[in-house]
Every structure is written in C-alpha cells, then in structure tokens.
C-alpha cells in the first residue's frame, strides 16, 4: 500500500468494487479497503437482481449465477396469488462468488485492494478532505487522496463523518431477517413475495430460490410498525406454513435503508455510492443494481476529475446517476410511504389491479413507474396517505 492515491474507496461490496474497477480503467491510482478478510462474506442478502440491473454493469457469468428467473409470484394478504410471466426477469446470484469476481476485475484493471483493513476518520482541511486513517492488524496509518468514495454500506461511517448522511432513524429503514433453507422442493425460476401485514408490517416476506432444493427465505419490515415483534419468530411462522419439511442451514439479520434523495451522494471531493448513499429501492429493498451503477459512475467520474482537475466534473456523478435512477427511486419511496399505511384489504385490491395489468400474458419488460401511476389512478384515495416528502 502506498501513502498517496488519487482515489481511496472504503468498502468492498458491489458498489466499491465496481468503482475501483472503473476508476482504475480510467487510468488513475486506486486503493480500496475492506474491513472483512474476504470480499463477499459474511453474506447479508437475498441475492436477487433484475436482468437489466446486472447487465447494465457486469456480464452475467455462470460461475456465480444460481438461478435464472422467468417470472415472480406475488401473494396478497387474503392468499390470492398473482403469477407474472416475465422471461429473463433476472437472477439469483451467489454473492460469495460475485464479489470476488468484481474484485478480480478491479485488480486486473490496476486497483490495489486491501482486505482486513478498516478505514475511519477522514481528515478535512480547509473544507476539503485529503487523508483518511486505516487500521490493519494492530497498526494504523494515514493515506492521502484526491477523491474519497464512501462505499461502506448501510452503516456508512465515512458518509456520515463527511456529512453526506445522518444516522438512520428506525422509521427510515427496514429490518431484515433471513434463513438459508435447504432440503426443499422449489421452482428455481420463480421467486415468491408475500405481502402479509402481520408477519412483515411495511414490508414483505420473500422466497428467493438458490436451486431447486434451497432458497433464501426472509422478511423485511419497518421496525416502528412492528411493535417489538421478534423477526425470527415471524419468519418461523411463515416457514413452517410454507414448507412441509425443510432444514435451516444458516440465519442472518441486516438493515436496508430507504432512499433519501440526491443530496446524499456528493459533497466536495467525497462521493457516496450504494447503500452508503441510501441508493435503494425503498419498496422492495433492492440495492445491488443501484450499488453497481453508482459505483460504475463514481469511478468513471473520479478518473475524469483527476485528469481534468476541474471540481465541476464531480457533479457529473449525481447528474448521471439521477438521470437514470432518480425518478424511479423517488417513485418507489413515495409508493412505499403509501404501502406502509395500507390495510390488508387495500393491498388485496392493489394486487387485483396489478393482476389485470400483468397477469395472464407474457411480459417482456415492466415499466414500474407506469404500473404505480396506473394503480394510483385507479385508487386515487391512496394518495391521501402520502406524507409531504421533499427531496433535494
């Protein structure tokens, strides 16, 4: 590790590893530090990603694709189910292999990656950050940079210290609990999503197949709506109803942040990407695709900035990211604000409308903004549940 880099990236998830690759491809000196011993572990994810979200940034590779999804099953609170026939919908991947794959691409492009190394305390001088302290195996040192990229996930110490985001409030996140379930029989092409306000208030329960005999089965809920319920008790209730026999191979818990707007992603020479910037679909909790794309752009823009020396270039990052994802993330956040206030009967009614739009035929691509708009037009009363949300 050198004492000075053009770009320092904190965090080796999909966001940071992609930023490391594209910054290195742009010909600048890059260091990525990851606090865990290996990238991709421990796993805190259901590992589902849309085909479009993945292919925008990385070519799908059989080495880390577990299942190709050809549809989805949505189940409403009264038990009615809607099957969406959507060939090429996406994938369930193996992130313990996916992230090492991204790391290899970054290293091949010329990035330095150091694992087992924790970063904290970015130092600001005259309004600009210039160095950061790194801790590894009992020793600490400062490394200098021109651009700092916070890719340190939902806890985002770096993004918080640099003033990009604040501490998450319980109402601004989903708490998640998940099992890896083995010894089951399941359709490998069809993920299942159950909207059950008792088991997952403000969220849903998912079954994402990993093979025809195993799945990630979990739930996410808004803690302020759950009244002290134990997430694993809720998950146990679901699993014993859904599967006749099964084996729990592992369990995990995690947090998904809700989207907060564009102000969270750039401040001076610090960029935040992925979960660190809260770039998550608040409705489904999906954040891998946005992590990959924000990482790709942040790396590319850092390279352009270093070569040009013009501060204004850094603003290309929020501009380019929001031009692709801004409307969607805002619409999902709005829809989630409504969804979390809906009663079971209202969710049943919305799924009926979705069934009219998406059921009984093959769908090649889903325009989710259009779907949400049409539901709101059919049920304008739902809009009364909208709080005043202002995004900068």
- Site residues, ligand FAD (CB under 6 A): 10-16, 33-36, 44-49, 118-120, 151-153, 157, 176, 178, 218, 254-256, 274-276, 280, 285-289, 291
Q: Which residue, 13 or 202, has its beta carbon nearer to ligand FAD?
A: 13
CB of 290 to ligand FAD, least distance (A): 7
CB of 47 to ligand FAD, least distance (A): 5
Q: Which residue, 100 or 285, has its beta carbon nearer to ligand FAD?
A: 285
Q: Which long-range contacts (CB under 8 A, 24 or more apart) does 203-206 make?
A: 203/174, 203/285, 204/284, 205/235, 205/238, 206/46, 206/48
Q: Which residue, 153 or 223, has its beta carbon nearer to ligand FAD?
A: 153
CB of 388 to ligand FAD, least distance (A): 27
CA distance 20 to 144: 16
- CB contact at 8 A, 291 and 15: yes
Q: Which of 324, 340, 339, 256 is nearest to 292 (CA)?
A: 324
- Taking residue 388's Cβ as centre, other Cβ atoms within 10 Å add up to 4
CB of 59 to ligand FAD, least distance (A): 18
CB of 78 to ligand FAD, least distance (A): 25
Structure letter (DSSP) for residue 194: E
Residue 44: Cβ-neighbour burial (10 angstroms; 0-12, 13-18, 19+)? middle
CB of 86 to ligand FAD, least distance (A): 16
Q: Which residue, 286 or 375, has its beta carbon nearer to ligand FAD?
A: 286
CA distance 35 to 152: 9
Q: Which residue, 221 or 246, has its beta carbon nearer to ligand FAD?
A: 221
Helix (H) or strand (E) holding 307: helix 288-308
Q: Which residue, 14 or 382, has its beta carbon nearer to ligand FAD?
A: 14
Sequence-ordered list of residues with C-beta below 8 angstroms from that of 272, at least 6 positions apart, any chain: 149, 150, 151, 156, 158, 159, 162, 164, 165, 264, 265, 266
Q: Which of 97, 52, 84 is nearest to 281 (CA)?
A: 52
Q: Which residue, 120 or 182, has its beta carbon nearer to ligand FAD?
A: 120
């Amino acid at each position: 590790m050198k004492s000075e880099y053009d770009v320092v990236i904190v965090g080796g998830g999909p966001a940071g590893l992609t930023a490391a690759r594209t910054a290195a491809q742009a010909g600048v000196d890059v260091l990525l530090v990851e606090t865990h011993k290996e990238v991709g572990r421990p796993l805190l994810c259901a590992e589902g990603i849309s085909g479009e979200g993945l292919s925008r940034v990385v070519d799908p590779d059989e080495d880390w694709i577990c299942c190709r999804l050809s549809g989805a099953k949505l189940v409403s609170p009264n038990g009615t189910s809607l099957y969406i026939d959507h060939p090429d919908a996406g994938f369930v991947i193996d992130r313990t292999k996916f992230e090492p794959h991204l790391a290899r691409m970054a290293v091949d492009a010329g990035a330095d990656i150091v694992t087992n190394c924790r970063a904290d305390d970015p130092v600001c001088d005259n309004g600009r950050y210039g160095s950061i302290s790194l801790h590894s195996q009992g020793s600490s040192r400062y490394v200098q940079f021109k651009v700092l990229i916070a890719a340190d996930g939902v806890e985002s110490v770096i993004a918080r210290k640099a003033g990009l985001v604040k501490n998450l409030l319980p109402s601004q996140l989903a708490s998640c609990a998940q099992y890896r379930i083995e010894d089951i029989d399941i359709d490998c092409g069809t993920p299942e999503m159950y909207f059950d306000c008792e088991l997952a208030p403000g969220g849903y329960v998912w079954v994402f197949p990993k093979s025809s005999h195993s799945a990630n089965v979990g739930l996410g809920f808004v803690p302020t709506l759950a009244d002290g319920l134990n997430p694993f008790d809720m998950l146990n209730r679901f699993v014993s109803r859904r599967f006749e026999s099964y084996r729990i191979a592992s369990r995990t818990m995690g947090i998904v942040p809700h989207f907060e707007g564009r102000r969270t992603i750039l401040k001076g020479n610090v960029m935040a990407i992925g979960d660190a910037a809260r770039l998550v679909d608040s409705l489904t909790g999906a954040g891998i695709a946005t992590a990959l794309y924000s990482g790709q752009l942040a790396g590319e823009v850092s390279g352009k900035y270093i070569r040009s020396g013009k501060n204004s270039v850094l603003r290309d990052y929020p501009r380019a990211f929001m031009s692709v994802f801004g409307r969607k993330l805002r619409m999902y956040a709005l829809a989630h604000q409504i969804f979390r206030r809906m009663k079971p009967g209202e969710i049943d009614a919305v799924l009926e409308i979705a069934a009219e739009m998406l059921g009984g035929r093959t769908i090649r691509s889903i325009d989710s903004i259009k779907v949400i708009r049409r539901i709101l037009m059919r049920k304008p009363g739902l809009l009364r549940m909208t709080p005043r949300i202002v995004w900068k």
